[in-house]
A and B are shown apart, each in its own frame.
Chain A
């Protein structure tokens, strides 16, 4: 089945630093989504990507759909304390269009 490998699993950074995380898949995807989960809450959609090469921003967040269609990355610039949480990539492959597969998550911790 489709699998996603998300890295890093955790990050410890200083406030103000930039953050980068990525996801790779074992097969071609036609949709990439990035979610953030705060403690005790459900994942919230940050950015959605639908075309290879697409680069989309949402405030200080920027995500890209890789040219090979097997990867995506998320960057956060000038991190602030409220960026703390778990970030998930999710993708939908060419086959099994109804099922969204999630990465293992990247836990972001920020030291003030």
Chain B
């Protein structure tokens, strides 16, 4: 069973479109995250939710809107896609937040290509 699963694996779309990426974790964790990995492989946090509540919101364009219907799911909706949004987006989860010994478990990523 996959612990953190995200769909789709690949997403190719035109500039200006709206798209969503879904993430689910079956680890019973309270905290979920979205990370963006650029072409140089740098990983940067975008958002974090703890038990459906937004706790980290980095400087991300407001075209990106996370939604957490329950603590096992964190979806990412992107409006008006731009070329610069092309990247790999990783969902991750941890047991909970605010504790220094929390470890992140990552999904396998969604490669977004905006044409």
Contact = CB atoms under 8 A, between A and B. Distances in A.
A98 B103 contact: no
10 contacts: A30-B100, A31-B101, A33-B104, A40-B108, A42-B107, A44-B106, A50-B101, A97-B98, A97-B100, A104-B42
Interface of A: 30-31, 33, 35, 37, 40-45, 48, 50, 86, 88, 90, 92, 97-100, 102, 104-105, 107
A25 to B, nearest CB: 14
Interface of B: 4, 40-45, 48, 55-56, 90, 92, 97-101, 103-109
A100 B48 CA distance: 11
Given A98-B48, A99-B56, A105 B100 contact: no
Nearest to B33: A100
A86 B48 contact: no
A105 B41 contact: yes
A86 B106 CA distance: 15
B104 to A, nearest CB: 6
Given A41-B108, A43-B106, A102 B98 contact: no
Given A43-B106, A98-B48, A98-B55, A92 B43 contact: no
Contacts of A35: 106
